[in-house]
Amino acid sequence: MRESCAMGDPGIIAQPNPARYCFAPRAMTGMKHEQDPTPGATPERTMTKPATPPNAPQPETRLVHAGRKPTHAHGFVNPPVMRGSTVLHPSIAAKAEIGRKALEPVENYGLMGTQTHFALEAAIAEIEGGLRTQVTGSGLSAITVPLLAYLRAGDHILVPDSVYGPTRTFCGGLLRRYGIETSYYGPMTTAEALRPHLRPNTRVLFTESPGSHTFEVQDIPALAALAHEHGAKLFLDNTWGIHHFQPFLHGVDVSIQALTKYPGGHSDIILGAVTVNTAEDWHWLRMGSLELGNYASPDDCWLALRGIRTLLVRLKAQEQAALRIATWLHTRPEVARILHPAFPSCPGHAFFKRDFTGACGLFGVVYQPQYSAADVVRMIDGLKLFGIGASWGGYESLVLPTTGTIRRTEGTGVFEGEMARFHIGLENVDDLIEDLDQGLALLRGG
């Protein structure tokens, strides 16, 4: 019977990847994609992005040019948005040839990407310092797609207690239903203390640094070494650390970005990206993404590409504003503690100083224990310049109470006082401080 090509089936045939059978010898042994080539060829573990030469332009310069080819845009500075499903091929032979290039940024069928996706992927790979990037439909799917791509029934995964809530929901929901077990560990657990918790079937050591809401900074190089020693992969949700934490210089295998945050920068898109740094990791990620039918809106990709041109300017301004505001809040008697990696009281501050080049504009506050949840709500409701809403990374300031929304298994990151999370935007800092000042009066006045 002739193999049917269903409507929209691009006829993907994976490029042979000789390295597939040679990495992560224990953990990945026996895993095969349907399209796997014959095993046995030479490893390509070394096929990573070459280190940036010392005389290369600085990141600001590289980001202006990343993924941009004015020759592809009829001379205009920005490329057009390219939408599409069907790609017409000049012949059956040409179509078959393209079908063999599922791992390449070529137009075969819309689901596999357009020039708009490929341009954004090149720019994110540049920011993350990796070999290849896959864009995904949301930040959350930048977490779920690679997990599903790498894991199989019977596997075990280690996840920090401070992980983004929906990641925890995914692990306890879909992953569990598919026979994959999750164990949680305290984000500050040392590699030595974690070693006995890696099982023969532990395939992924997941990290998120700093942690969601509580901002613990993890010792990524040590955890990566532990994972590799065990034949497991080190995944990092690097959303907070965009630009300031270079994942592949610190041993990460799979780096996750919610592009919804700073790359989007204007609170009007939902998008994610996963970056890897070896040919074999790219094979797993790309084939898994295609099998899952992952897709990102080209309009959102275009907006993210546009956002990236000003990313570093915004990040710098928001980092400085957030530090000024956090420092001011720190002096206030209503505040017990600031949860910000740049503060020495933050767990993992030493790793932040060692591994990061800066911060973004998101941090937390723990109020003195005498203030109730109702006091915090009164303060937040009374703020005039801070929006009340989920997400962060846009140009506007936001606030949310976080106590009660934080789920923990290992009892980490629990404080006596009520907590709130602030995201600092591009407003004037003095205006924001004035607003917080009157907000703190409302907190006290209950």
Ligand X SMILES: Cc1ncc(COP(=O)(O)O)c(C=O)c1O
Q: Which stretch binds ligand X (CB under 6 A): 70-78, 136-144, 198-206, 428-436?
A: 136-144
Least separation in angstroms between CB 126 and ligand X = 20
Q: Quick one: tokens of 394?
A: 């846009």
Examine residue 255 and tell whether it contacts ligand X (CB under 6 A).
no
Whole-number minimum distance, CB 34 to ligand X, in Å? 29
DSSP H stretches of helix in 71-206:
92-99, 115-128, 139-150, 165-170, 176-177, 191-194
- Which of 34, 13, 183 has the alpha carbon at shortest distance from 98? 13
Pair of tokens at residue 397: 């300031």
Which range binds ligand X by CB under 6 A, 132-140, 187-195, 318-326, 430-438?
A: 132-140
Query: For 379, how many CA atoms within 13 A lie in the half-sphere containing its CB?
Result: 28
Q: Determine if 162 is a binding residue for ligand X (CB under 6 A).
A: no
Is residue 315 within a helix (H) or strand (E), and if so which, with residue range? Answer: helix 311-330
Options 23, 164, 248, 302; binder of ligand X; rule CB under 6 A = 164
The residue length of the chain stands at: 446
Q: Is residue 326 part of the contact set for ligand X (CB under 6 A)?
A: no
- Which of 272, 288, 364, 439 is in the footprint of ligand X by CB under 6 A? 272
Residue 94 CA to residue 393 CA, distance in Å, equals: 43
Would you count residue 23 as binding ligand X (CB under 6 A)? no
Separation of alpha carbons 216 and 396, rounded Å: 24
Distance separating alpha carbons of residues 251 and 253, to the nearest angstrom: 6
Q: Which is nearer to ligand X, 234 or 336 (CB)?
A: 234
| Of the candidate residues 391, 403, 409, 442, the single one contacting ligand X (CB under 6 A) | 391
Of 320 and 391, CB closest to ligand X: 391
Residue with smaller CB distance to ligand X, 207 or 239: 239
Among 121, 237, 281, 300, binds ligand X (CB under 6 A): 237
Instruction: Determine the number of helices (DSSP H) and then strands (DSSP E) in the chain.
Output: 14, 12
| Contact call for residue 319 and ligand X (CB under 6 A) | no
CB of 241 to ligand X, least distance (A): 10
Q: Can you tell me which of 115, 133, 138, 246 binds ligand X, judged by CB under 6 A? A: 138
Task: Specify the residue, 329 or 398, whose C-beta has the smaller distance to ligand X.
Answer: 398
| Contacting residue, 140, 242, 285, 296, with ligand X by CB under 6 A | 140
* CB of 135 vs ligand X, minimal distance in Å: 12
Residue 258 in the binding site for ligand X (CB under 6 A):
yes
Cα separation of 24 and 160, whole Å?
A: 22
Does 207 engage in binding with ligand X (CB under 6 A)? no
Query: Measured from the CB atom, is 189 or 255 closer to ligand X?
Result: 255
Strands (E), 131-286: 132-136, 156-160, 181-185, 202-208, 233-237, 254-258, 272-276
> Are residues 134 and 159 in contact, defined by beta-carbon separation less than 8 angstroms?
no
**CA gap 26, 390 in Å, rounded:** 41
Nearer to ligand X, 145 or 258 (CB): 258
CB nearer to ligand X: pick between 12 and 142: 142
Return the closest-CA partner of residue 409 out of 183, 170, 204, 199.
183
Q: Which residue among 202, 218, 239, 255 contacts ligand X (CB under 6 A)? A: 239
Number of chain residues interacting with ligand X (CB under 6 A): 12
What are the structure tokens assigned to 291, written together?
A: 């099998």
Under the criterion CB under 6 A, does residue 270 sit at the interface with ligand X? yes
- Give the span between the Cα atoms of 232 and 227, in whole angstroms: 5
Binds ligand X by CB under 6 A, chosen from 214, 255, 260, 397: 260
Please report, as ranges, the residues that interact with ligand X according to CB under 6 A: 138-140, 164, 212, 237, 239, 258, 260, 270, 272, 391
